[in-house]
Amino acid sequence: MPTATVTEITIDPVPAFRDNYLWLLSRAGRAAIVDPGDAALVFAALAARSLTLDSILVTHHHADHTGGVAELARATGAAIFTPAGESIMTGGAPTRALREGDAIDVLGERLQVLDVPGHTAGHIAYHAPTLRALFCGDTLFAGGCGRLFEGTPAQMLASLRKLAALPADTRVYCAHEYTLSNLRFALAVEPGNLRLQQRSERCSEMRARQMPTVPSTLAEECETNPFLRVTEPQVREAAERHTSGARISDESVFAALRAWKNVFA
């Protein structure tokens, strides 16, 4: 008797620009793309794999995440999912505006929406519990976090903590390959963190072979990403040393780290 075949979802990076990853999900000839900053690269990736685009998912309004949306939508008629708090250029194509608590069906998988303001005011993330996958745009990066263009340190810290509270084996599909520069900063903050030293060596080897260091896992991030470690004594002390002020709240430790990273060479 024939058994039903369950096809797994494949998740591939489509490298774009200098250091972006557009994430291509596919299963049984259908595809979804997260943060398509460049339409031509997505068309090429679809053609190479003989895929039809079903869905376009957007985490926030920046051009490197949205530049290809209108053209892809026009050519494919794919459904477009966008943050409710941001206006995304779709060339007139309708979108489904999402906020925390919403859930969508993508390629037969349920994705849950989380509000994660900080990098931008309306930034959202997509969590697929059954895939153990998180698409978090420019909020949480491998070894770091996004810049605060439209949010406060308190907002970003709360957003990062929300993501860090997801299951530890969740893979973190962030939108940029910033890992080595993030880990250099992390080592300046926590030079004695053995896990961090090991991660830095491993990621350096991967980059030397042009391999993506993304996705990481939330477990790795919690052990090595200073922006998720503001309550660790060594992280607090480093933030205090760097700003020569008494840091009391977690938010002020986070703010000091983010300001330090902004000018870290």
Nearer to Zn ion, 26 or 68 (CB): 68
Stretch that binds Zn ion, among 61-69, 179-187, 205-213, 243-251 (CB under 5 A): 61-69
Q: Does residue number 54 form part of the binding site for Fe ion (CB under 5 A)?
A: no
Q: Which residues pair with 133 in a beta bridge?
A: 128, 171
The reply to whether 62 belongs to the active site is yes
The active-site residue out of 35, 38, 60, 115 is 60
| 54 touches, from Fe ion, Zn ion, none (C-beta below 5 to 8 Å by class) | none
Show the binding pattern over residues 59-88: x = contacts Fe ion (CB under 5 A), - = does not. Answer: -----x------------------------
Residue of 38, 138, 177, 221 that binds Fe ion (CB under 5 A):
138
What whole-number distance in Å separates Cα of residue 258 and Cα of residue 240?
13
Q: Does residue number 220 form part of the binding site for Fe ion (CB under 5 A)?
A: no
Q: Does residue number 177 form part of the binding site for Fe ion (CB under 5 A)?
A: no
Nearest in space to 112 (alpha carbons), one of 140, 136, 141, 94: 136
The reply to whether 60 belongs to the active site is yes
The active-site residue out of 38, 115, 119, 127 is 119
The active-site residue out of 61, 62, 123, 127 is 62
Q: Does residue number 86 form part of the binding site for Zn ion (CB under 5 A)?
A: no
CB 197 within 8 A of CB 141: no
Question: Could you list the residues that contact Fe ion (CB under 5 A)?
Answer: 64, 138
Q: Which residues are catalytic?
A: 60, 62, 64-65, 119, 138, 176
Question: Could you list the residues that contact Zn ion (CB under 5 A)?
Answer: 62, 138
